[in-house]
Amino acid sequence: MSKKLLIATIVALVLLAAGYWYWKSTLLSPEEQALQKAEESTKTITESATQGVLPPLNVQSNPVGNLPDTNPVNKTNLFSDIKTNPFR
């Protein structure tokens, strides 16, 4: 019975130590918290400052979108409209 108690105590101590290490690693120091708040406020200030400054980008601005088809390769195949190939 004492071996089971000793093993249970060791396992409990290891779990407590691992939990304490995890808890300490997730805590932020006051300097880190201030830095994180500064980063968040910088992002919000930048987003609010650029609102309405840039024009909307949903317009079509492709200058070559309406060019005629001048590719001669499409017009050189004489058998493109034939269902079966006569050379097979």
Region 62-85 average pLDDT: 71
User: First CA to last CA across the chain, in angstroms?
Assistant: 89
Cβ atoms 79, 85 nearer than 8 A? yes
Q: How confident is the model at residue 66 (pLDDT cuts 50, 70, 90)?
A: confident
- Written as one letter, the residue type at 44 is T
Q: What is the pTM of this model?
A: 0.35
* CA angle, 31 then 36 then 39, to 5°: 125
Q: What is the DSSP letter of 55?
A: P
pLDDT digits (tens, 9 = 90+) for 18-62: 988 888 777 777 788 888 889 999 989 888 877 776 666 666 667
- What is the pLDDT at residue 67? 76
Q: What is the DSSP letter of 57?
A: S
